Structure 1
Amino acid sequence: TMKNSVSLSAEEVKERLDKGEPYVIRVKIPRNEEIKFKDMIRGYVMVHSSNLDDKVLFKSDGMPTYHLANIVDDHLMNISHVIRGEEWLPSAPLHIYLYEAFGWEDSMPQFAHLPLLLKPDGNGKLSKRDGDRLGFPVFPLEWKDPQTNEVSSGYREKGYFPEAFINILSLLGWNPGTSQEVFSMEELIEAFSIERVGKAGAKYDPEKAKWFNQQYLRATSNTELAKMLKSDSSTANQVASFEADYLADVCGMMKERATFLTEIVSEGDYFFGVPTEFDEKTVNKKWKAESAALMNEWLVQLENISPFNAEAIEHAFKAFIETKSLGIGAVLPLFRLLVTGKGMGPSMFEIAALLGKSETVSRIKSGISKLG
């Protein structure tokens, strides 16, 4: 049995103290009381005091435990709201009792216990291991464990916009009561209320998180995206020698196809250099024995286009395939392959116009000689 001032006589307690025996100080919870409080999410919560332990408040070295320090600290700092995960719900009755024991119930903060974040399949609490296994971060920023030196990926480093990340977090457990999903920070501040947060655990959907980032990317102006490409450490070197206007045009073409800023450069690498390889699938499917001759004929047409803009290129292309009695699908993929190395992408006429006549012609000649 536990030896303490409840089970020992006053004399024995004094004797042990005089001997300098180490001791802890506990809270003595009354046995027949109902401890009630109102949670902003869960409504009224009532716990019978007989279900609570006499928790340690001061350890034997004189240091206060979390339970005591937390209450005193929040009181002295005039904390108005304690918003935390539902794993703290079992500790709340003790905290409420301590506020009352100190006579601080009138200035006690409001409590809100948020629902847990669940794995994408909804079975159990989301953990770092789930993120590692399924390939998504669980930390806002990249984090290195000082003990193991293990590095965990972060949303910032993965290329998520801060605003998109906040939007994602806001909808984990909270429901605006409308079908709106994308919110600006101002709209979130206006719409958000703790009372509309649900009690049930919130499933985390990594694919939906990417969708949110995509929405923010698309909504950002081309000029702003171009600035970001210049300043982002993962893209700055590749785009350093290109003008802001050129980059803005690239962003305009690529942002509908990208989820992350870096994909504008990785998927649109042909805007920043001559392709060194050609999409194997397209080569196997589309590049035939007569393709080189066909592309040489198209080259002649291209060289005569003036002014060299998307509209004029498209007009010339349509006239060319009509003359040759060929469908778009027989010629356009070859044009794209030689200029970009890819099997798909934005409008080929816009790409060619942005690269300019001499660069487009040069790439077609080079591609023909490589593919033969």
Structure 2
Amino acid sequence: MTDQPASTHPTPRLRVAPSPTGDPHVGTAYMSLFNLAFARQQGGSFVLRIEDTDRARFREDSEQQVFDTLRWLGLQWDEGPDVGGPYAPYRQSERLDTYRPYVERLLAEGKAYHCWCSTERLAQMREVQQKSKQPTGYDRLCHGRTRDERAQLPGFSETPVVRMLIPEDVELQFDDLIRGRVSAPRPDDQVILKADGFPTYHLAVVVDDHEMGITHVVRGEEWISSTPKHNLLYRWFGLEPVRWAHMPLLRNTDKSKISKRKNPAARLTWFQEQGYLPEALVNFLALLAYPPAVGPDGEDVEVFTFEEFSSDFDWKKVNPVGPIFDLKKLEWLNGVYIRALETGQLASRLLPYLQRDGVMPASPSLGELARLGKVTELIQTRMVLLSEATALVRPFFVADDELEIADDARAQLKDDSREVLAAAIDALGPLDDAGQGVLGSDSGWRAAPIEAALRAAIVDGMGIKPKFAFGPLRTAVSGQRISPPLFESMEILGKAPTLSRLGRLRDQLG
């Protein structure tokens, strides 16, 4: 047990401490972002600690998911289980010997006591309190009793827990960097050491934050009610408390707390699966509780980098009201970031999704990558999610006889569609697929000559309005009702595949 107060550290030290009990929650990224922004602004350190004392809900793969998703977002920590650091170990399950002296000290000083109440007895006690509309909390049946004395009473459990003895004069107010002076409800006698020998969050968080020199604790507002007992532990151990910042909770559109059971967007991995760009998600998470930057003309600037966010950071600007998790806003931001990428960068971002969905092979050839680059230019403005590229790109990489016609595309075909397709085949036949057409150097297999030939044959020759003239061609070439630009798509596909697809649909309509 060290006696070095956190304040002796010359620079701020902040941490995020997720529990590996399932898929990482988006709130982990949200908290990490604000911790890291302040740490980087102040030249401090950002620590990742794994709080794995909840062994009943522990999931072995969850820790690695935390590492992977935070790194995907670019929220890199300075110290942690995988990178080490001067305060290792950074997993609570590896620090059990650290907590025991603190517990023994509280027991010796009469500030904590053993409790042998069974879970059944505690459940009955809470039920009685709720029915009689009393405040729920432990009734101190075990306080002041020896093990043998308690064993004579009902609801006895062989293995005790250790509880804090909350004094009558416990301080319920504290200062918060975001909320100012805060009042919290009176806590009950909190369990600090469980029957399995693992500390609860309430003891471990105070001990670990002190031992690791943490100076600022940024966490969700649901922990406001626990802060008085944490401050009490700091005082009992003679330690200087951290500075608190309780962030507003992320909420669904119905104002309920966002949770993995109700909302798939609560899972951090979901954003990767759907094709959100990490820089867009970071930008969005910042905007949830922080105002936009102000432009030169006083306008809101909602698109900004992490570095810009960090340099401007001020706890007083954080909005304490729980923000609504508006996916429409995130989709808009994601589209902005997609359009800002260079074509090659976007193609590289798309490739894993196309490989996942079977559109492109695990090891694409140079020719396939070149084609993907050309297709990416066509679809860059038509996506808000990277995963949407699958449907747009697939027609360019599927064999002509394996192209499926979507039901909604087939349904919009009209009675004259066969004649339109036949006219298109005749019009495109003379174009030279080498780029030097029989009618001149600019009449080869390029978008402009393709469009000119088709307009002459269908719009002018058949008298069909442009609005309706090219629908059957789009269906034949892409299999979809809505697709990338038609003439550019034909150019990328090439002459033979284009004519093959036009002829295939024509024959199907015969």
TM-score interval, smaller chain: 0.7 to 0.9
Shift of the 111–292 alpha-carbon distance from structure 1 to 2, 3 Å rule, reads same
Give 1:72 deviation, angstroms. 1.8
Q: Is the 2:175–2:244 contact (alpha carbons within 8 Å) kept by the matching residues of 1?
A: yes
Give 1:26 deviation, angstroms. 4.9
Corresponding residue to 1:120 among 253, 261, 272: 253
Aligned to 1:209: 330
Give 1:62 deviation, angstroms. 6.7
Aligned to 2:277: 161
RMSD: 3.1
Query: What are the Cα deviations for residues 320-354 of structure 1, in whole angstroms up to 9, with x where unaligned?
Result: 32233331123211221222222222221111111
Q: How does 1:141-290 map to 2 (within 5 A)?
A: 141=269, 154-176=270-292, 178=294, 179-232=300-353, 233-235=355-357, 238=360, 240-241=364-365, 242-273=367-398, 274=400, 276-288=403-415, 290=416
- 1:357 lines up with 2:461 in the alignment: no
- 1:38 lines up with 2:171 in the alignment: no
SS of the aligned residue for 2:209 comes to helix
- Rounded to whole Å, the distance in 2 between the matches of 1:264 and 1:22 is 58
- Rounded to whole Å, the distance in 2 between the matches of 1:316 and 1:225 is 32
Question: Greater relative contact order (Cα 8 A, min sep 6): structure 1 or 2?
Answer: 2
Bigger mean CA deviation after superposition, 203-212 or 67-76: 203-212
- Rounded to whole Å, the distance in 2 between the matches of 1:291 and 1:297 is 10
Q: Structure 2: which amino acid aligns with 1:117? A: L
Corresponding residue to 2:428 among 302, 314, 319: 302
- Rounded to whole Å, the distance in 2 between the matches of 1:24 and 1:238 is 57
SS of the aligned residue for 2:339 comes to helix
Q: Is the 1:35–1:97 contact (alpha carbons within 8 Å) kept by the matching residues of 2?
A: no
Aligned to 1:90: 225
Q: Structure 1: which amino acid aligns with 2:464? A: L
Give 1:64 deviation, angstroms. 4.5
TM superposition score normalised by structure 1 = 0.80
Bigger mean CA deviation after superposition, 91-100 or 186-195: 186-195
Shift of the 42–296 alpha-carbon distance from structure 1 to 2, 3 Å rule, reads same
Q: Is the 2:395–2:403 contact (alpha carbons within 8 Å) kept by the matching residues of 1?
A: no
Query: What are the Cα deviations for residues 214-262 of structure 1, in whole angstroms up to 9, with x where unaligned?
Result: 3332222221232234444414652535522210111111222223323
Shift of the 303–114 alpha-carbon distance from structure 1 to 2, 3 Å rule, reads same
Q: Structure 2: which amino acid aligns with 1:370? A: Q
Aligned to 1:369: 507
Q: Say how many residue pairs are matched.
A: 342
Query: What are the Cα deviations for residues 149-169 of structure 1, in whole angstroms up to 9, with x where unaligned?
Result: xxxxx3222322222222232
Q: Structure 2: which amino acid aligns with 1:111? A: W
Shift of the 182–259 alpha-carbon distance from structure 1 to 2, 3 Å rule, reads same
Give 1:74 deviation, angstroms. 0.7
Query: What are the Cα deviations for residues 84-112 of structure 1, in whole angstroms up to 9, with x where unaligned?
Result: 1111101111212222333323xx32111
Q: How does 1:315-326 map to 2 (within 5 A)?
A: 315-320=452-457, 321-326=459-464
Q: How does 1:7-22 map to 2 (within 5 A)?
A: none
Q: Structure 2: which amino acid aligns with 1:296? A: A
Q: Structure 2: which amino acid aligns with 1:194? A: W
Give 1:44 deviation, angstroms. 1.2
- Rounded to whole Å, the distance in 2 between the matches of 1:227 and 1:42 is 43
Corresponding residue to 1:346 among 470, 484, 493: 484
Aligned to 2:261: 129
Q: Is the 1:227–1:244 contact (alpha carbons within 8 Å) kept by the matching residues of 2?
A: no
Structure 2 residue ranges without an equivalent (≥5): 1-138, 151-157, 295-299, 432-436, 438-443
Q: Structure 2: which amino acid aligns with 1:88? A: W
Q: Is the 1:164–1:213 contact (alpha carbons within 8 Å) kept by the matching residues of 2?
A: yes
Shift of the 56–222 alpha-carbon distance from structure 1 to 2, 3 Å rule, reads same
SS of the aligned residue for 2:481 comes to coil
Q: Is the 2:219–2:247 contact (alpha carbons within 8 Å) kept by the matching residues of 1?
A: yes
Give 1:70 deviation, angstroms. 1.8
Aligned to 1:104: 239
Give 1:2 deviation, angstroms. 3.8
Query: What are the Cα deviations for residues 161-200 of structure 1, in whole angstroms up to 9, with x where unaligned?
Result: 2222222322222223543333333333334443322221
Q: Is the 1:160–1:260 contact (alpha carbons within 8 Å) kept by the matching residues of 2?
A: yes
Q: Structure 2: which amino acid aligns with 1:349? A: F
Q: Kindly, what percent of the aligned residue pairs are identical?
A: 34
Q: Is the 2:217–2:244 contact (alpha carbons within 8 Å) kept by the matching residues of 1?
A: yes
Shift of the 236–183 alpha-carbon distance from structure 1 to 2, 3 Å rule, reads farther
